[in-house]
A and B are shown apart, each in its own frame.
Chain A
């Protein structure tokens, strides 16, 4: 999984998988890519932290706290994860 840049579909699937553990009733498909994810899915700060930890583990991506503010919508999270995995691949 760490060799290639994950596709948008891969990342969305991972997001959905991680979310199922945190908010079983949350439906990622019902949220538009530009919608604020935390508000749409009613995630509190502990939920959101768990969500990021889940993504970090599944995608092997470092997410500094300073970047949390950028991770607001599905579209932005997908772009961030793709960028981060590309950077990591380039380093390797």
Chain B
């Protein structure tokens, strides 16, 4: 039995509120499926599941605020207990509502040995039910609807004994009675007012992560000037043949150049964990996106080194849109292996970044603009960009950092190979 726990969306996250479940008990899930929507300081996030199996029980209700690591659901592996059992057909909300008239929970004669078809569904109560975490877990195991249980604890809170009693009563009542599908209320989303002040909470989350970074990570900084003349000429020619919707932005070349350079200097692509560098094979570039309501997120462009420029452009466009409407996926927030920030739109010349832990590097780009450029004994005017690297000195040294910036420059001089 796999346990689905509240995931961490980064060093700055301690807890999040469950907004809605996206699956029902009995649903079959695959790796990458969205199982729940949670509300964090970074907006609402679609949480993906990393197990394959059948949802056995949902242990928490929408509206509950849960610490990172809190048990949220149980998922039964497909190759384990469910061997040979037919998967339960997922039921849509309409069907469930149609089956409303009989709100009695399905009887669970042998609650600990059940096939998916017989599973007692766990109800999502329409109102908030006071219950201890243990009582919730027991209720889920025994298939007891907490809404139907009278609590004997403080302020009417439901305790374990109440659940067990209710399970017994249920079993007795079920004798002879036919199994009836349980009516489930639609997930109750917290209201806007309950969700509180996003910008202020995002500020707190950023404050926490950045303070941790500054406290723990001995940063070193490197800077170089890169001529963008070739890259921009290539891009202009490329864009001339493209319709306005298919055109690429210069930042796409910068992202791809960083991703390619990381293939050459892998030490800067990864995490600092348990006092050692853990380089990552996959290159997921987190791209810093400022949000209109304030604050920023840096979600991942997955496998940026293997994506074509078109694909990076599409991914970037999609990420910016979803970041600003608060619809990122959990993997996008947890996967970045490096961060790229481009402050060029604001006319900034140089970015000295703060690394987002546990990553070990951040590449910053300023504005691309014309500047005097000396090359081959001649002074000319070139469009150029200042690229900076902020890197964790525990993980790498200046020599590796220098190699990375050099490789980025090198790739940007060969834009047709990007």
Q: Judge whether B219 is part of the interface by a CB distance below 8 angstroms.
A: no
Interface of A toward B, CB cutoff 8 Å: 23-25, 38, 42, 44-46, 49, 52-53, 56, 62-66
Please name all residues of chain A whose beta carbon is closer than 8 Å to the beta carbon of B292 when the two chains form the complex.
23-25, 42
Chain B interface residue bracket vs A = 10 to 19
Interface of B toward A, CB cutoff 8 Å: 236, 239-240, 244-245, 247, 249-251, 290, 292, 316-317, 320, 344-345
- Taking the closest CB of chain B, its distance from the CB of A6, in whole angstroms, is 18
Please name all residues of chain B whose beta carbon is closer than 8 Å to the beta carbon of A65 when the two chains form the complex.
236, 239-240, 247
Please name all residues of chain A whose beta carbon is closer than 8 Å to the beta carbon of B320 when the two chains form the complex.
46
- Taking the closest CB of chain B, its distance from the CB of A48, in whole angstroms, is 9
Task: Check B244–A45 contact: CB distance below 8 A.
Answer: no
Q: Which of B236, B247, B344 contacts A49 (CB 8 A)?
A: B247
Please name all residues of chain A whose beta carbon is closer than 8 Å to the beta carbon of B250 when the two chains form the complex.
45
Task: Check A45–B247 contact: CB distance below 8 A.
Answer: no
Query: What are 11 A-B contacts with C-beta separation under 8 Å?
Result: A23-B292, A24-B292, A25-B292, A44-B345, A45-B344, A49-B249, A62-B244, A63-B244, A65-B247, A66-B236, A66-B240
Task: Check B239–A45 contact: CB distance below 8 A.
Answer: no
Which residue on B lies nearest to A49, using beta carbons? Answer: B249
Question: How far is it, in angstroms, between the C-alpha of A46 and the C-alpha of B239 when the chains are bound?
Answer: 15
Question: How far is it, in angstroms, between the C-alpha of A51 and the C-alpha of B344 when the chains are bound?
Answer: 19
Which residue on A lies nearest to B251, using beta carbons? Answer: A45
Please name all residues of chain A whose beta carbon is closer than 8 Å to the beta carbon of B245 when the two chains form the complex.
53
Which residue on A lies nearest to B249, using beta carbons? Answer: A45
The answer to whether A56 and B251 touch (CB under 8 A), given A25-B292, A46-B317, A65-B236, is no
Which residue on B lies nearest to A44, using beta carbons? Answer: B345
